[in-house]
């Protein structure tokens, strides 16, 4: 046996003993760890069970003592609806006089001469129709006010700026010009009528009928006033303000771009006027801009093509989505003028920045059974106003030579 083999034979028992000792230590340590982990798991399960019991107890208290959730559907037996229905059908306003709803949903403390406020569901139905109608309202800025007018402060000029270093003194910059635009609220009214025999019919939906008639009348009256109103007893219309060629435009006027042809687009390049109109508007307004025109004008514009033969007009890809002209949405408003000599038949701009509609949230109805016998008149009123608030945000296309 060699010396090396002798050393190996002598060390083998000692090495095996050491390895067995190490394995025992590992098993002991692992067993202790698993034991501690098991205890930790038991403690956590006990704490989670206690937490679940506390949550269950709190839920029970909440269910027992908390205020019941409001119904998501309109309750036809709600006090305000029953009171209003009784008033509309037979003129009984006793319930309305004593009714006081939570959260100012309807305050009936309005005397009969001024009418009674309708219930919130009927008012919301009318507002939904107004918002969805083809009117400037759908793209303008609409605010609710409690006063008789709404004031808008406009900074019509830029604040000056300058450069300076550590040793150069700064100079005084230009002072911005702040202008106040006051939008008075005017009374808008509708006067639908129905026979008393129809009102006595229990199957007749008086609230739905009244809301539909009022909404239709209001929508048509508003649509015309927001574009052509003279500001006397009605909103000041968009097209009522003076217009100036965009090259010499100043605040207080609406800038326009001319087609170059009296009463028509240019015969050789009709699309050029539309392109010029788009880029006459400042870049910061173009991101939220819309076109407004009536159906006759839209019929002429949608035939236009660019230099590569592609149509400028594209229809909406989804239901309810507006058509687009050069990528911008088009609102069809029938109160816009037709194409004629010097007519401002197309408007383009950010109307949410450029035109503000202010209105009171309440809608009143006064029942009149005397003025149109055997019919009953319903005199509905609301207060609304509107005016241009940013003259730089809107441009017009004039069908004229200059």
Quick one: DSSP state of residue 331?
A: E
Phi/psi at 311 (5° precision): -70, 140
Residues in the chain: 402
Q: Are strands 186-190 and 178-184 parallel, antiparallel or unpaired?
A: unpaired
pLDDT tier at 102, thresholds 50, 70, 90: very low
117-130 pLDDT, tens per residue? 776 777 777 777 77
CA angle centred on 67, ends 61 and 69, rounded to 5°: 110
Segment of 149-158, 161-170, 390-399 carrying the highest mean pLDDT = 390-399
pLDDT at 65 over 60: no
- Which helix or strand (DSSP H or E) is residue 293 part of? strand 290-293
Strands 116-117 and 141-144 turn out to be: unpaired
Does the pLDDT of residue 68 top 60, yes or no?
no
* Beta-strand pair 375-388/394-398: unpaired
- How far apart CA 396 and CA 342 sit, in angstroms, is 11
Whole-angstrom CA distances from 150 to 146, 153, 157, 332, 359 are: 9, 10, 22, 28, 9
Give bridge partners of residue 344 from the DSSP assignment: 398
Residue 183 burial by Cβ neighbours in a 10 Å radius (0-12, 13-18, 19+): buried
Give the model confidence (pLDDT) of 344-392 as tens digits.
Answer: 999 999 999 999 999 998 888 888 888 888 888 888 889 999 999 999 9
Q: What is the pLDDT of residues 284-300, one digit of tens each?
A: 999 999 999 999 999 99
Q: Which helix (H) or strand (E) holds 34?
A: helix 3-65
| Residue 393: count of CB within 10 angstroms of its CB | 21
Task: Dump pLDDT digits (tens) for 172-195.
Answer: 666 667 778 899 999 999 888 888
Q: What pLDDT sits at residue 386?
A: 95
Least confident of 101-110, 256-265, 300-309: 101-110
CA distance 384 to 234: 8
Q: What is the pLDDT of residues 316-326, one digit of tens each?
A: 777 678 899 99
Burial class (CB in 10 A: 0-12, 13-18, 19+), 40: exposed
**Given this model, what pLDDT does residue 19 score?**
59
Residue-wise burial string across 272-308, b where 16 or more C-beta atoms lie within 10 A, e elsewhere: ebbebbbebbeeebeeebbbbbbeebbeebeebeeee
**Average pLDDT for 207-214:** 83
Q: Which domains does the chain have, with CATH numbers?
A: 79-156+179-233+359-387 (3.30.2400), 239-355+390-398 (3.30.2320.10)
Position 183 scores a pLDDT of: 94
- CA torsion, ordered 85, 87, 88, 91, to nearest 10 deg: 150
Q: Higher pLDDT residue, 171 or 362?
A: 362
Band the pLDDT of 197: cuts 50, 70, 90: confident
* Section 98-108 average pLDDT: 44
Contact 271/308 with Cβ under 8 angstroms? no
In the prediction, which pLDDT does 35 show?
73
The chain-wide mean pLDDT, for the chain, equals: 79
Per-residue pLDDT at 239: 95
Q: Read off the pTM.
A: 0.70
Identify the burial level of 150 via C-beta atoms within 10 angstroms of its C-beta, where 0-12 means exposed, 13-18 middle and 19 or more buried. buried
């Amino acid at each position: 046996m060699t010396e090396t083999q002798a050393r190996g034979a002598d060390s083998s028992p000692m090495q095996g003993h050491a390895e067995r000792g190490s394995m025992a230590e590992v098993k002991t340590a692992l067993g202790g760890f698993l034991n501690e982990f098991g205890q930790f798991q038991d403690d956590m399960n006990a704490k989670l069970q206690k937490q679940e019991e506390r949550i269950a107890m709190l839920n029970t208290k909440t269910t027992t003592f908390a205020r019941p959730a409001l119904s998501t559907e309109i309750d036809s037996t709600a006090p305000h609806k029953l009171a209003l229905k009784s008033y509309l059908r037979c003129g009984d306003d006793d319930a309305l006089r004593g009714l006081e709803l939570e959260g100012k949903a309807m305050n009936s403390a309005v005397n009969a001469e001024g009418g009674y406020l309708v219930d919130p569901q009927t008012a919301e139905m009318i507002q939904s129709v107004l918002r969805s109608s083809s009117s400037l309202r759908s793209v303008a800025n609409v605010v609710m006010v409690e006063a008789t007018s709404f004031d808008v402060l406009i900074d019509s000029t830029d604040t000056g700026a300058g450069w300076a270093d550590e040793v150069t003194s700064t100079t005084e910059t230009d002072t911005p010009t702040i202008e106040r635009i006051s939008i008075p609220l005017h009374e808008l009214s509708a006067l639908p009528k129905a026979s008393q025999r129809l009102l006595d019919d229990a199957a007749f939906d008086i609230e739905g009928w009244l809301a539909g008639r009022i909404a239709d009348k209001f929508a048509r009256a508003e649509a015309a006033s927001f574009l052509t109103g003279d500001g006397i007893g009605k909103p000041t219309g968009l097209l009522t303000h003076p217009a100036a060629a965009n090259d010499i435009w100043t605040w207080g006027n609406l800038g326009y771009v001319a087609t170059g042809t009296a009463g028509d687009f240019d015969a050789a390049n009709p699309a050029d006027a539309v392109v010029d109109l788009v880029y006459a508007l400042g870049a910061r307004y173009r991101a939220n801009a819309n076109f407004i025109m009536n159906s006759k004008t839209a019929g002429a514009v949608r035939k236009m093509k660019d230099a590569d033969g592609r149509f400028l007009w594209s229809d909406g890809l989804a239901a309810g989505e507006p058509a687009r002209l050069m990528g911008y949405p088009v609102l069809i408003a029938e109160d816009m003028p037709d194409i004629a000599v010097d007519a401002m038949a197309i408007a383009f701009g950010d109307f949410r920045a450029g035109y503000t509609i202010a209105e009171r949230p309440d809608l009143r109805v006064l029942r009149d059974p005397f003025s149109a016998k055997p019919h009953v008149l319903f005199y509905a009123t609301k207060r609304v106003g509107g005016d241009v608030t940013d003259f730089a945000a809107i441009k017009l296309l004039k069908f004229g030579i200059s």
